[in-house]
Amino acid sequence: MGSSKDRLKKDLAAAMRAKDEAAKSTIRMVLGAIGVEEVAGATPRILSDAEELDVIHKELRKRRDSAETYAAAGRRELADKETAEAELISGYLPAPLTADELAALVEEAFSELDEAPTMKQMGAIIRTVTAKADGRAEGKEIAALVRQRLS
């Protein structure tokens, strides 16, 4: 069992003792998503720490997307609930890269190229930066910076 799942279980117990319904339900949703991923496929398996972080990151993106959708539809109370869940979930992820750190990674990826980069190489550059960011940056942020640098 990965360290994220251990931490989630400990925090769930603490939320239950504190009678914190919002934290309890959010942590249970994340643990459920990890459980689903563990049994997905032909045989059950134990997820690595990186795989657990990927699942947590997916859950965070779901909450953020839902909050945007609810806000656009005028459902402020549901958007606030999703935003609160996203904030709680983000506490289980590593600290995101700052804009300067991300820009430095993009510049580093460009400096590793032998020739002048073209738009055809955009996907390869994004993959390189994404690997170096190690889940600490959103793909759309990376793509926007790479696109801006190529323009």
Q: What is the mean pLDDT of residues 123-149?
A: 86
CA Rg, the chain, in Å? 18
pTM (global) more than 0.85: no
Whole-number pLDDT of residue 132 = 86
| Residue 55 burial class via C-beta count within 10 angstroms: exposed 0-12, middle 13-18, buried 19 and up | buried
Whole-number pLDDT of residue 150 = 83
Whole-number pLDDT of residue 131 = 85
Tokens of 8: 């989630």
Residue 29 pLDDT grade (very low, low, confident, very high; cuts 50, 70, 90): very high
For the chain, the straight-line distance linking the first and the last C-alpha, in angstroms and rounded, comes to 45
Q: What is the mean pLDDT of residues 129-140?
A: 84
Is residue 116 scored above 80 in pLDDT?
no
Q: pLDDT: is 138 or 58 the higher one?
A: 58
At 46, is the secondary structure helix, strand, or coil? coil
Helix-then-strand count for the chain, H and E: 7, 0
User: Which range (14-18, 75-79, 96-100) has the least confidence?
Assistant: 96-100
Residue 1 pLDDT grade (very low, low, confident, very high; cuts 50, 70, 90): low
At 91, is the secondary structure helix, strand, or coil? coil
Is residue 113 scored above 90 in pLDDT?
no
